[in-house]
Structures are given as structure tokens and as C-alpha cells.
Amino acid sequence: MNRKEFIGYSATGAAGMALFPANLFAKENLKKNEKRFPQILPYAKKGKWKEFELEINIMEHELAPAMKIHTLAFNNMIPGPEIRVKEGDQVRVKFKNKTEINHTIHWHGIYVPWRMDGVPYVTQMPVMADQEFIYEFTAKPYGTHFYHCHWGTLLHMQSGMFGSFIVENDDDPVKKAFPYEREYTLVYSAHDVNFLRNELNGMLERMKERSYLMKNGRFDPQRFNLFNTKEELLNAIENGYQPPYLVNRRSLADLPNPNWFTVNGKSYPSTPSLLIKTGETIRVRLINSGTENHHLHLHGHDFWMVCDDGLPLPRPWQRNTLSLSPGKTYDIIIEGNNRGIWTFHDHDTRRVTNNGLYPGGNLMALVYEDLPVEERQVGKMNNGKNILPKIALDE
């Protein structure tokens, strides 16, 4: 079967999401698309506190149709639910660990008291199996931020332990400069699924053993590789302790090499679409919670970069490509001034692949909802329909 034939066949398929025209504008597909953005976490008002509940679990997660992996997940979602508060709100987050692995939550970009910063053995003890930790802080500064686990960070972040944290302001300078109604959050990540699987299995196995000992009151700091001073570490080495980074305990060069790239936890063809109408202005909050640089390029438009790490820029930058490095957030404004369906993707094209195969990864589209039906037709497909396929895969 050649590529053209394949496209013809896939166009007749019912599964998958609508990235390109066809039935994208059908109600059920618009509904599905809504769910491809972070879901807002509800809160309970407890006195002065806005109280949120987060729990962490392990689940099966589908990166793309037929491609499942095991991941960690806040409230069984990847990314975790979006926490959205007003600047100055008193925020309380009750975090429950339902896994056997240790975790914390770091509030990336938020001016939390240092004891709430979520760095294990620096600001707090790790949250162990079945334990709960309560984070309390004032929501500031304004802007697009995110939260993520800070224990075993390399593994836990690419395992799905991240979510957006949006601090709103009634006097929003961006909204004043660019009045908009709709906004979207896009959380980028990259995953070495083999690293993820092997490390997660190893960590779970080690923790089973450690939990068994701890339940019997036999916590041994050396098992967690914990030392109070450098001298203590050197003494332990003198007495036979082998640091886990040595080659007699771990093979060389086991750093992850991501082969799956996601937006909001999904790879193409399951990535979300940014919907816009002619004359409309939308705000897009971009968060990189992964380990890779993403050089995001929008076809057919310039956009305005308005916030950097949540902070409003003194003067918006007009551009069509930006480099979203790990840990960064940018807010951009897109003006609907060029009707069509435009791809929005990583211009490091290694990241628009699934397991090395294009198209995939963080490939997505800006879609004009008011695109007339006749403009959705680009040619007669093999299946005889005058519309583009919903999904086009190549090999």
C-alpha cells in the first residue's frame, strides 16, 4: 500500500481526532477538542483559603491511538488539572500521595514561602506513600506558571507530573492591550518511554523494599542516599558505601533520549486544535514542562509575545517563531486575520515525530471555525470525498 492509498483508507476511518478539516467542525469533535486542554481544578472555599485537592497515582495513558504507556498522573490527568486563581488569593493545596514512590510539588514561578517550595530535603521531607502534605501560600505574581514534582525530577516530570498554574488579575495588562475572549493553555513535554518505563519499574521495586523496612521502623538514611554532611558521605564511602552514580552501580550514559513529544499529554494525531474566528483575538499560554527546547512556529501569521515567565513584557514582540526552553512559559496573542487551517508546530522537526516517524509529536493546528465549507476542499481524495482526511499518517 503506498502513501496515497493509505491516506485514502485512513480518511474512511472513524477513530482519532480531527486535526485537519473534514468533520472537525462537527459538535462531537469540538467537544472532544475542549477536553484536550487542561481541565480546571475546582476548589472549596475554607475561610480565607481557596482549597484544592491533588492526588498522585499511576495510570495507563494513551499518547496517541494504540500507543499506551504507564505514567504518574495528578488526579488521573496528564497534564494535571489547571489551578486558576486570582492574584493575592490564599491558596491551600492538599496533596495526597497514592503511589509507593516519594513526591513533592514545586510551584514553578510562584513566590511561595520557602517551606512551601517543594524541594525534598531542602524545604520539606518528601511526601511518602499514603502521606498527605498541605501547601499554603499567597498566589503571586500574576501570570502563567506551572507546578511539577521535584522528587526524581527527570523521571517524574516526563512521567506526567506537571500542570498549569494560572494567576489572574482583574486588571490584566494583556487583556487591556489585546482584548480577547478565549484563551488556551498548552503544556509541552518530551518522553523517553523506555527510560520512563525502566526507571519507574526500578523505583517502584526499590520503594517496595524500603517501605517494608520503614513499616518495621528501620529507616536507613543510606538507602535513600542521605547524608547530613559531606564528611558523613566521605566516611560512608570509606566504609564501603558506593554512590549510585558510580559505574560499578550504574552503566554509563543512561540519560533519556526522548522519542515522544506531547502537547497537553498527547502526540499527533491526538493533539488539540486552537480554534479561532476571523477578527477574533486569542491568548495562548505556552508552558514547557519537559527537557527539550521547542522552537514553535505558526504558519500564516505573526503573533505577539506578551509575557515571559508570566511577567508582562514592557513591549510585546511581534514574531512567528519562539524558542520555548525547559522551564519557560510564554504567553502569546494570535489575531485571526488570515482565514484557514494553519499548522503550529515545533520547527525542530525531530519533535513532530512519534517514535521517529513524521507526522507526530507536538504537531497541531490553528483552525478558523468560520472557514467556509468550500474552502475546506483541497482536492478529490481516493475515497471520492472532496475533503481532507481527518488524520494523515505517513511512513
Partner 1 sequence: MKTKIYLSVILSVALVSVTRAQVSPEIELGAKGVMSGNIVVDNANTASAVSDFSDSQILLGFKQKLYSAWRGQMVFGFQFPDADSDLGQVFFNHVFLTVENHKNIFKLGRSTTKTIINEFPTLRDDDAISFNYSLNPFSIGSNTQDNQYGNVIEYTHIFRQRYWFTFHGENLANLSSPTDFSLNAFGASFLYIVPGSQRWNRNVLQRIGMSYNNYLTDRPGYSGYEEALKNILGTVTINVFPDPVHFVDFRIQGIYNIGFSEIDSINSYRNYVKTPYFSTFGTVRYLYRKLERPFIQVSAGMGYKSFSSVAGSNQFIGITNIFYRLGEHFDLGFQYRYLHNYGETGSLFGQKQHRFQLALVYSIDQIFNNQFDDRNSILNLEHGYIK
- State the residues that interact with partner 1 by CB under 8 A: 58-60, 68-70, 194, 197-198, 200-201, 204-206, 208-209, 211-213, 218, 220, 222-223, 240-242, 248-249
Give the span between the Cα atoms of 128 and 195, in whole angstroms: 23
Least separation in angstroms between CB 78 and partner 1: 14
Q: Is the distance from CB of 285 to CB of 325 less than 8 angstroms?
A: no
Least separation in angstroms between CB 1 and partner 1: 9
For residue 266, the Cα-to-chain-centroid distance in whole angstroms is 9
Q: Is the distance from CB of 76 to CB of 118 less than 8 angstroms?
A: no
Least separation in angstroms between CB 357 and partner 1: 10
For residue 379, the Cα-to-chain-centroid distance in whole angstroms is 36
Q: How many CB atoms lie within 10 A of CB 34?
A: 11
Least separation in angstroms between CB 121 and partner 1: 18
164 or 267: whose CB is closer to partner 1?
267
Q: How many CB atoms lie within 10 A of CB 376?
A: 17
Partners of 64 in beta bridges? 67
Least separation in angstroms between CB 295 and partner 1: 28
Q: Is the distance from CB of 352 to CB of 345 less than 8 angstroms?
A: yes
58 or 276: whose CB is closer to partner 1?
58
Give the span between the Cα atoms of 112 and 109, in whole angstroms: 9
23 or 194: whose CB is closer to partner 1?
194
Least separation in angstroms between CB 39 and partner 1: 22
33 or 99: whose CB is closer to partner 1?
99
- Computed on alpha carbons and rounded to an integer, the radius of gyration of the chain in Å comes to 23
131 or 222: whose CB is closer to partner 1?
222
206 or 299: whose CB is closer to partner 1?
206
46 or 223: whose CB is closer to partner 1?
223
Least separation in angstroms between CB 203 and partner 1: 9
Give the span between the Cα atoms of 371 and 357, in whole angstroms: 30
Q: Is the distance from CB of 291 to CB of 190 less than 8 angstroms?
A: yes
Give the span between the Cα atoms of 251 and 253, in whole angstroms: 7
